[in-house]
Amino acid sequence: MNKTLTFDFCKMSIYDNYVVVVINEGVNLTPNHNSVLVEVTENHFSEKPFVYITHRINSYSVDPKIYFETSKIENLKGFAVVSSNYQAKINAQIEQMFFNKPFEIFTNIEEAFNWADNLVK
């Protein structure tokens, strides 16, 4: 891991090929929150390809409009959701419809890391 950033709504761990985000319990993730995440990824990955991994440890909601904006990040190569929670996986399947890049759902964080590393090569 290169760096960890903590915000009032999440914790971001930045690696060479991906960023892992853990959103805090009960947050309603809005485009305003997303703009912070986009800014961080632009600063840390600049023109380098990367994958966004959300580790859904906590329960929170996502405004689907976020995915339209996130899809516009040119060097974002994919989006992964990691959760062992059935409802979180169902929600992710719905969110997948709003995202026009590779989007995978995993139970294990290591599987998401491997997928991300392969995707950015």
Q: What is the CATH number of the domain that holds 20?
A: 3.30.750.24
Tokens found for residue 10 = 């999440």
pLDDT at 1: 65
Q: Residue 71 and residue 108: Cα distance in Å, rounded?
A: 24
What's the chain's Rg over C-alpha atoms? 13
Number of domains within the chain: 1
Provide the pLDDT confidence category of residue 111 given band limits of 50, 70 and 90. Answer: very high
> What φ, ψ does residue 87 adopt, rounded to 5°?
-65, -40
Average pLDDT over residues 23-46: 92
**DSSP bridge partners of 11:** 6, 22
Q: Residue 115 and residue 121: Cα distance in Å, rounded?
A: 10
User: Average pLDDT, whole number, for the chain?
Assistant: 93
Instruction: Quick: pLDDT tens for 47-98.
Output: 899 999 999 999 999 888 888 888 889 999 999 999 999 998 998 999 888 8
Q: Which domain holds residue 74?
A: 3-120
Q: Residue 81 and residue 95: Cα distance in Å, rounded?
A: 10
